[in-house]
Chain A
Amino acid sequence: DTGVSQDPRHKITKRGQNVTFRCDPISEHNRLYWYRQTLGQGPEFLTYFQNEAQLEKSRLLSNRFSAERPKGSFSTLEIQRTEQGDSAMYLCASSAPGGRYNEQFFGPGTRLTVL
């Protein structure tokens, strides 16, 4: 399968714990995005990498959130001291260099439940 993969698919954690999610983009895609989707809403942009550089962060990304893409391949999103409001689907997407309309290919998401 050459699509975007995410791990884990589901995560249940207790409030206050730290969690880390992984995203493997489509190989040869140099751009990687994280979005958050809550129930009944569309995805909301969190952050974007071009290669290993994090070029944009949403104000939604509080200081408890950190994302990395150390070698320009896979990416991790860590949430520290989770809160119940962090419960959501975390989606990763990737896109190829160039292209005018920025077609983004999404992974299946990691569903986080904070108890």
Chain B
Amino acid sequence: QKEVEQDPGPLSVPEGAIVSLNCTYSNSAFQYFMWYRQYSRKGPELLMYTYSSGNKEDGRFTAQVDKSSKYISLFIRDSQPSDSATYLCAINPGAQKLVFGQGTRLTINP
């Protein structure tokens, strides 16, 4: 079983829609969860991180962790065409490396 699994999409929604992106992870001991955004032909950039369970909000973005079901989510409100990118969930399994999901390619249509 992969440590992190993510639906690769692609996902296409109209501008202004609420977007929900999700990942599942295998090890209940994981505590740090991150979302990276990657534009085409660029390196990933950190969007948000959360520790343990609960929600974290930053502007139009909300990250959510449900440790009981080992599920992490990223919600984007009032989506914009500039949000079109690949979104990668990542976990820090306690070592120095990050383990990434496959990435979900998102397109916001004007």
Which of A13-21, A64-72, A80-88, A99-107 forms contacts with chain B?
A99-107
Residue numbers in B under 8 Å from A2 (CB-CB): none
Whose C-beta in chain A lies nearest to the C-beta of B92?
Answer: A102
Least CB distance from A21 to B in Å reads 13
Asked whether A56 lies within 8 Å of B34 as measured between CB atoms, the reply is: no
B18 within 8 Å of A (CB atoms) = no
Whose C-beta in chain A lies nearest to the C-beta of B99?
Answer: A45
Least CB distance from B7 to A in Å reads 12
Pick from A33, A100, A108: contact of B51, CB under 8 Å = A100
Whose C-beta in chain A lies nearest to the C-beta of B44?
Answer: A106
Residue numbers in A under 8 Å from B34 (CB-CB): 101, 103
B60 within 8 Å of A (CB atoms) = no
Asked whether B43 lies within 8 Å of A31 as measured between CB atoms, the reply is: no
Residue numbers in A under 8 Å from B96 (CB-CB): 31, 33, 48, 50, 55-56, 102
Asked whether B43 lies within 8 Å of A106 as measured between CB atoms, the reply is: yes
A43 within 8 Å of B (CB atoms) = yes
Least CB distance from A90 to B in Å reads 11
Bound Cα distance from A87 to B92, whole angstroms: 26
Residue numbers in B under 8 Å from A98 (CB-CB): none
A25 within 8 Å of B (CB atoms) = no
Least CB distance from B99 to A in Å reads 7
Residue numbers in B under 8 Å from A48 (CB-CB): 96-97
Asked whether B100 lies within 8 Å of A4 as measured between CB atoms, the reply is: no
Residue numbers in B under 8 Å from A26 (CB-CB): none
Considering only residues 92-108 of chain B, those with a C-beta below 8 Å from chain A are: 92, 95-103
Considering only residues 8-40 of chain A, those with a C-beta below 8 Å from chain B are: 31, 33, 40
Q: Would you mind naming 26 contact pairs between A and B with Cβ atoms under 8 Å apart?
A: A4-B43, A40-B102, A41-B103, A42-B4, A42-B90, A43-B44, A44-B100, A45-B97, A45-B98, A48-B96, A55-B96, A56-B95, A56-B97, A91-B44, A93-B43, A100-B32, A101-B32, A101-B34, A101-B92, A102-B96, A104-B46, A104-B98, A106-B43, A107-B43, A109-B43, A111-B41
